[in-house]
Amino acid sequence: MPIPPPLPLHQPDMWLVNLKAVTTLGNIILLLCLLVIYARNYEQIKSKFALGLIAFVILLLVQTFTSNPFVHVMWGFRHINALGLFTIVPDLFEFVALGILLYISLKS
């Protein structure tokens, strides 16, 4: 009995990969804006709270950078999570939350 050929590897939907990449890029831009605002605030008031906000933004930047699918490909990971659109939902919520935080930070 012949051995059946192996199943082809599942290729991710490129629109999902592109949407996730654009969303994480938007998150990086918003986080960099917040980092500039918080760094200026720290220069003015030298508060531990402002320093904590800077540390928080830096850690979120690392998380956002490492969640970008193009970074995964650069590091040799070729498969996107099988959850499809649900892999992007947290990034979309993060984008909205960061937009609100940036708006509030610019108002004060």
Please report, to the nearest 10 degrees, the dihedral formed by the alpha carbons of residues 83, 86, 91, 94 taken in order: -140
Distance of CA 69 to the CA centre of its chain: 10
pLDDT at 9: 55
CA–CA dist 7, 77 (Å, integer): 19
pTM of the model: 0.78
State the CB neighbour count (10 A cutoff) for residue 33.
Answer: 17
pLDDT band per the 50, 70, 90 thresholds, residue 99: very high
State the CB neighbour count (10 A cutoff) for residue 101.
Answer: 17
- Convert the pLDDT of each residue in 1-24 to its tens digit: 677 666 555 555 677 888 888 999
The token duo for 52 is 């904590």
Q: How do the domains of the chain map onto residue ranges?
A: 27-107
> What is the pLDDT averaged over residues 104-108?
87
Query: 17-21, 53-57, 77-81, 86-90: lowest mean pLDDT where?
Result: 77-81
Is the model's pLDDT at 65 over the cut of 70? yes
